[in-house]
């Protein structure tokens, strides 16, 4: 009986054992499920964070401001010859930020510096009188002064006066002018202006702008070349070099020659106009070229807003210099003595190279 009682007492305990096991299993399953859910949540969170990071990165890339353009500064070496020039300054402010007074001062300083660089600057057409100069200037359209200078000796040897050229056979004149290009149109112009000089001005070239521009083939540019260099009357010659440089220097934003003439003329005393024209044109032909300006050899680099458009390495820039600045012959067959004294060389005659 005691044994039976003991067995009966032990029975419930033995039954409780499996119940405990089931509870433990459920607990483990619940924990496993919770861990799995946590892991999934963690993955979802990581994925969301990664997406957020990528999105933020993309947004930052879109909003990121473009890198500022590097400002090219004129080195000391390029400006060493300028007396009193501030060493290695950043490019000057464009007219939008530059006061009128500052623009006038900068423009006049550029002219003074160029006067030191080209003290021998002169018209690069050979002439001995106003008639020869007006004819040579008309012929220089769309060709080089060198080609004109190589052609006019034959023309003036045969037709030395307006009367002679007015009575010339057009076909004979065309043959002489053929090397200048557009020889038929130019023949018509020089014969026409010679007839006008004979008929309207007694065979003399007039010394007034309003009279000169009435001659066939003569515009304001040609008229100012004649007035400034044959009569000593100031004028601004707005040729292709002059137009290019004054826009590079930001003296004006105009593109019409007459408006450029007015805008630039207002920056200088009238007495400076003729020499200013020579300085700018000479600089454009020798250093500040249209396609490859020699920035590294430019004496006015610290004053130029366009510094860096061309070659800035001094040695490479030096190889781009032309005429006497590069050790080559000039454009005139008979240049002034001052030019020869400065190391300039005469141009060769036609057919000589």
Q: What pLDDT, on a 0 to 100 scale, did the predictor assign at position 96?
A: 63
Are the beta carbons of 88 and 79 closer than 8 angstroms?
Answer: yes
Distance CA 301, CA 303 (A): 5
Residues 6+ apart with CB under 8 A from 58: none
The pair of structure tokens assigned to 306 is 């366009």
Three-class SS state of 201:
helix
Distance of CA 28 to CAs 18, 24, 25, 32, 36, Å?
15, 6, 5, 6, 12
Task: Read off φ and ψ for residue 4, nearest 5 degrees.
Answer: -65, -45
Running along the chain, 353 residues long, what does each successive block of 10 average in pLDDT?
Answer: 41 40 45 50 48 47 48 52 37 67 98 98 97 98 96 98 98 97 97 98 97 96 97 97 98 97 98 98 98 97 97 97 96 97 94 71
Specify whether the backbone of 203 is left (phi greater than 0), alpha (psi in -120 to 50) or beta: left
H helices present in the chain, as ranges: 2-63, 76-79, 100-117, 130-139, 145-158, 162-166, 170-177, 183-201, 209-212, 220-230, 240-248, 257-265, 273-286, 314-318, 337-341
The alpha carbon of 97 is separated from its chain's Cα centroid by a whole number of angstroms, namely 19
Residues serving a catalytic function are 221, 239
Distance CA 215, CA 229 (A): 18
The pair of structure tokens assigned to 21 is 């096991």
Q: What pLDDT, on a 0 to 100 scale, did the predictor assign at position 352?
A: 77
């Amino acid at each position: 009986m005691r044994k039976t009682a003991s067995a009966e007492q032990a029975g419930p305990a033995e039954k409780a054992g499996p119940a405990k096991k089931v509870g433990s299993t459920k607990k483990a399953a619940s924990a496993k499920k919770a861990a799995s859910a946590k892991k999934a949540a963690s993955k979802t969170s990581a994925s969301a964070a990664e997406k957020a990071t990528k999105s933020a990165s993309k947004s930052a890339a879109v909003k990121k401001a473009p890198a500022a353009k590097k400002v090219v500064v004129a080195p000391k070496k390029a400006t060493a010859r300028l007396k009193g020039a501030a060493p290695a300054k950043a490019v000057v402010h464009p007219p939008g930020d530059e006061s009128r007074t500052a623009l006038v001062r900068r423009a006049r300083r550029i002219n003074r510096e160029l006067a030191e660089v080209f003290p021998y600057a002169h018209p690069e057409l050979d002439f001995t009188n106003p008639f020869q100069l007006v004819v040579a200037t008309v012929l220089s359209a769309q060709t080089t002064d060198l080609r004109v200078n190589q052609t006019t000796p034959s023309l003036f040897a045969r037709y030395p006066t307006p009367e002679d050229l007015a009575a010339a056979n057009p076909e004979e004149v065309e043959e002489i002018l053929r090397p200048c290009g557009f020889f038929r149109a130019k023949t018509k112009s020089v014969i026409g202006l010679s007839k006008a000089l004979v008929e309207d001005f007694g065979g003399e070239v007039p010394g007034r702008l309003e009279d000169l521009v009435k001659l066939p083939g003569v515009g304001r540019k040609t008229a100012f070349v004649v007035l400034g260099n044959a009569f000593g009357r100031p004028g601004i010659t707005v040729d292709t070099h002059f137009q290019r440089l004054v826009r590079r220097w930001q003296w004006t934003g105009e593109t019409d020659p007459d408006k450029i003439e007015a805008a630039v003329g207002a920056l200088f005393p009238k007495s400076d106009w003729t020499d200013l024209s020579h300085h700018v044109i000479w600089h454009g032909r020798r250093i500040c070229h249209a396609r490859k300006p020699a920035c590294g050899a430019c004496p006015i680099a610290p004053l130029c807003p366009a510094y860096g458009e061309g070659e800035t390495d001094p040695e490479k820039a030096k190889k781009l210099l032309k005429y006497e600045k590069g050790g080559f012959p000039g454009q005139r067959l008979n240049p002034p003595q001052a030019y020869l004294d400065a190391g300039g060389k005469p141009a060769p005659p036609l057919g000589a190279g």
